[in-house]
Structure 1
Amino acid sequence: MRERRHIASLDGLRGITALAVVMAHVYLVFPALGPLPLPDIGSGAVAIFFAVSGFLIAYLYGDRPFSRKNAADFLVSRFARIYPVYLAAVLLVVVLSAVPGLGYIDPITGPFQIVRHIVMLGSTGVLWTIPPEIQFYLVFPFIWMFLANPVRYQWIAVLIGCLLAIDGLLGFPGSGILLISKLPYFLLGVLAGYLHPRLQSAARGITVGVMAILLPAFLLSHRALSIEVSDTLWGMSTALAAALSVLLVAREHPISAAVFASRPLRFLGTISFSLYLLHVPCLFLTAKLLAGMPLWLVIPIGCAVALAVATASYHVIEAPCRIFLVNRWKRRNPRKAELLTST
């Protein structure tokens, strides 16, 4: 099997969506700015994140042979990618929540809540997105089994299809931290990632015009798609729009790649996970330390601090911990372990 080519434009897409989440939370930390002018842009960006996750996992793993060893490698890779910086973010919030009189905006207090977040079942602030992501990682090996042998494991496709249909009929119920309520984003992302290498290159020709309409419409105004954000954001229609947006960006037409694969956006994509997890504490502490100064000055400083902290986090926590954990696993399980470092 040929090694999959890195899709630089998806780095840029992650960078854009991370900035969209930061923008949404600027209005949360600085309520004096008034209501957010773009309706629910933060949730739309998170939906894109989920679709990108499904896309990349299917793109990178969907054509690899399935085995228990490869499935274990996959799970270790995902854990090493996410958990160290996630744990650092949780502990930072716990510390800020314990400071008397600070009044941190999204506190984690008490043993139950602390343990709940450490084991990735918490829902405070931006941390709510990690539980469904982890749950999807645990489900993906079953999808991988089907992709590796569709005839033998066709029951998996039938089961997932029935689950998705029932889930949709019930309105995607359940807490936001449960995979069941976000299932279509991951599954349609998987479908897009599996189809991407099978599409003819000529199909790229239609991507720029469609993407120029679809992606801004999805991120900036769900009402442009006749969707009521407060009621049905997390449903099949927006999942389809999110997955299609990701697929169109991944096609990397030269015009779209000039934007999404540009160096600044790729850099933001590289640090996007740390930026996503740590920007609220950075904005909050900047607002506290610079209280009384004009917002036009405080907000850019807060955003600059968030970028600097996210960059440091990536180089000090995220990347080194991932390499350390993967190398530990490789020493114990050397066969095919080189595949881990690419994801």
Structure 2
Amino acid sequence: MPRSPTLPPPVASARLPALDGLRGLAALAVAVGHGLLVVRENVVADWWGPSPFGLTTNAFSIAASHAVWLFFVLSGVVLTKLATRGPPGGFDYGRYTLSRLARLYLPVWAALAFVVITALLVRRTSSGFGAWADGHPTHLDPWALLNDATLLTGTSGALSPLWTLQWEVLFSLLLVLYLAVLRRVPALLSLPLLLASAALGGVLGNPTLLYLPMFGLGVVLALHWAALARILGALEAAARRRPGALTVATVLALADAGELALVGWQLSASGLPPPVRSVVETTGHLLASMLLIALAGLWPPVRRAFSSRPLEWLGLVSFSLYLVHEPVLLAVVRLSVPLSDAVCAAGLCLSTPETADEIVAGSALAALGPFGIVAMAIGAIALSLATATAFHRLVERPAHRFAQHLRMPETSAAIGGRDPRAGR
């Protein structure tokens, strides 16, 4: 039987593998962005000028620095779809809360232990690797790590990605409040209000006002997912009537998402007041995140691409990659110095007099040379992916199973929850 030329729109309760793929790409972008940051802080700025390579890397750095905003909007979508799945009133907030906190905290605690292990194996006392690498604590304070483990009152910087998980925990606890409010407000009103709140938070430097509305945008998307599916389904059907129109529409939609994500950067030399540029940048990045999520979840060509095997695997290990890539990168950066010295002692120096002026003055990585620094960053990302795979199997997957067990009706009844039949 021939395959259908179109994919049916996913229903509200269906799992969306493409969104996992999108999350995986975002996590990889964060990891690559940190690796690129190390390169940029040790290789002279001539590489980052108006050349196609420089423009591409600059654009990627801007997009990667805001990938966590995509995480926030995506969390709003995913948790809302979970909460609205099944019959009305079937969502058990108590079981959900236990499950969600276990899903977040158990991998975080293991990641903090991994930070301690890597810091003991590779001492962080040396410097000269650039502002990002040198900015991490050289000594790990046990009390600071204990505070990090709570995800409640700020983080020490020992594992910088944890700052985003503070907001994930807060949103997870406030999900019912988000649903109660945003279900009663029309999307044409709630979306502008949420965007305006986030933009105002960016101008004022208020993280609460900036980040919490991002989750609300995802909640609104999920609450109106079926209506959005009908709209995009009609557009796709119309595009398929004309040869090539679907491809053109897909390219234009992705190009629009890229333009929205970079519009603030493009206006950086326009002379606009900083508050105006901040509003444009915040709004553009959030609209780009919403558009990418809608395309990945509902537009067939993009959905197929983001549901591919490689991206499916990347989405599977995305949380692990997000947690472990930083200590791996910091360890590789510091280990590269004695390794490069040993290689150079063997007569295979990577740095040459011709490339000496391409290295930032005082860089501890000077012996690697510019291309050796790039190779080091690539190797660190590859090792991060391998480590994330092991971390997922040993930590995240068992934690996920335990979190699912906490949502089981029998578990809820055992701890004094609601009717064990509720939410099944």
Whose radius of gyration is greater, 1 or 2?
A: 2
Deviates more, 1:185-194 or 1:319-328: 319-328
| 1:135-146 pair list within 5 angstroms | 135-146=170-181
Contact 1:249 1:256 in 2 (8 A): yes
After TM superposition, give the deviation of residue 337 of structure 1 in Å. Answer: 8.2
Query: Which residue of the other structure, out of 19, 22, 26, is the alignment partner of 1:13?
Result: 22
Query: Which residue of the other structure, out of 258, 271, 292, is the alignment partner of 2:304?
Result: 258
Residue matched to 1:70:
92
Residue matched to 2:331:
285
| 3-state SS, counterpart of residue 42 of structure 2 | helix
Deviates more, 1:51-60 or 1:115-124: 115-124
Structure 1 residues 8 and 271, CA gap change in structure 2 (3 angstroms): same
Query: Which residue of the other structure, out of 181, 194, 197, is the alignment partner of 2:210?
Result: 181
Structure 1 residues 72 and 203, CA gap change in structure 2 (3 angstroms): farther
| 1:263-274 pair list within 5 angstroms | 263-274=309-320
Q: Distance in 1 between matches of 2:253 and 2:204?
A: 30
Deviates more, 1:206-215 or 1:280-289: 206-215
2:90 equivalent to 1:43: no
Query: Which residue of the other structure, out of 47, 52, 55, is the alignment partner of 2:74?
Result: 52
Letter in 1 for 2:219: V
Structure 1 residues 326 and 59, CA gap change in structure 2 (3 angstroms): closer
Contact 2:73 2:217 in 1 (8 A): yes
Contact 2:20 2:312 in 1 (8 A): yes
Query: Which residue of the other structure, out of 314, 321, 327, is the alignment partner of 1:275?
Result: 321
After TM superposition, give the deviation of residue 290 of structure 1 in Å. Answer: 2.7
Residue matched to 2:151:
120
Q: Distance in 2 between matches of 1:212 and 1:250?
A: 13
After TM superposition, give the deviation of residue 57 of structure 1 in Å. Answer: 1.5
Structure 1 residues 138 and 203, CA gap change in structure 2 (3 angstroms): farther
Residue-pair matches, total: 329
Q: Which runs of 5+ in 1 are unaligned?
A: none
| 1:307-322 pair list within 5 angstroms | 307-322=385-400
| 3-state SS, counterpart of residue 109 of structure 1 | coil
Structure 1 residues 190 and 42, CA gap change in structure 2 (3 angstroms): same
Structure 1 residues 129 and 45, CA gap change in structure 2 (3 angstroms): same
State TM-score, norm by structure 2. 0.66
State TM-score, norm by structure 1. 0.80
| 3-state SS, counterpart of residue 94 of structure 2 | helix
Q: Distance in 2 between matches of 1:9 and 1:338?
A: 25
Deviates more, 1:16-25 or 1:319-328: 319-328
| 1:170-209 pair list within 5 angstroms | 171=202, 173=204, 176=207, 178=208, 180-198=209-227, 199-200=229-230, 201-204=233-236, 208-209=250-251
After TM superposition, give the deviation of residue 231 of structure 1 in Å. Answer: 3.9
Q: Distance in 2 between matches of 1:313 and 1:57?
A: 23
Letter in 2 for 1:285: A
Structure 1 residues 202 and 224, CA gap change in structure 2 (3 angstroms): farther
| 3-state SS, counterpart of residue 92 of structure 2 | helix
Structure 1 residues 12 and 211, CA gap change in structure 2 (3 angstroms): farther
Q: Distance in 1 between matches of 2:267 and 2:20?
A: 26
Letter in 2 for 1:44: H
Structure 1 residues 328 and 247, CA gap change in structure 2 (3 angstroms): closer
| 3-state SS, counterpart of residue 37 of structure 1 | helix
Q: Distance in 1 between matches of 2:178 and 2:400?
A: 25
Structure 1 residues 71 and 50, CA gap change in structure 2 (3 angstroms): same
After TM superposition, give the deviation of residue 171 of structure 1 in Å. Answer: 4.8
Structure 1 residues 268 and 167, CA gap change in structure 2 (3 angstroms): closer
2:306 equivalent to 1:245: no
Deviations 1:128-176 (A, max 9, x none): 111111111111112334577x4xxx7xxx9999898667556564554
Query: Which residue of the other structure, out of 159, 164, 180, is the alignment partner of 1:129?
Result: 164
Structure 1 residues 328 and 49, CA gap change in structure 2 (3 angstroms): closer
Letter in 2 for 1:333: S
Deviations 1:117-138 (A, max 9, x none): 1110334222211111111111
Structure 1 residues 100 and 146, CA gap change in structure 2 (3 angstroms): closer
Q: Distance in 2 between matches of 1:276 and 1:189?
A: 20
Contact 1:193 1:247 in 2 (8 A): no
After TM superposition, give the deviation of residue 320 of structure 1 in Å. Answer: 0.6
Contact 2:257 2:292 in 1 (8 A): yes
Contact 2:336 2:376 in 1 (8 A): yes
After TM superposition, give the deviation of residue 182 of structure 1 in Å. Answer: 0.7
Structure 1 residues 23 and 232, CA gap change in structure 2 (3 angstroms): farther
Residue matched to 1:32:
42
Q: Which runs of 5+ in 2 are unaligned?
A: 1-10, 49-56, 128-132, 240-248, 341-367, 414-419
After TM superposition, give the deviation of residue 72 of structure 1 in Å. Answer: 1.4
Q: Distance in 1 between matches of 2:422 and 2:385?
A: 32
Structure 1 residues 100 and 25, CA gap change in structure 2 (3 angstroms): closer
Q: Distance in 2 between matches of 1:315 and 1:211?
A: 36
Q: Distance in 2 between matches of 1:289 and 1:337?
A: 54
Structure 1 residues 304 and 338, CA gap change in structure 2 (3 angstroms): farther
After TM superposition, give the deviation of residue 54 of structure 1 in Å. Answer: 0.7
Residue matched to 2:125:
101
Residue matched to 2:358:
none
CA RMSD of aligned residues (A): 3.6
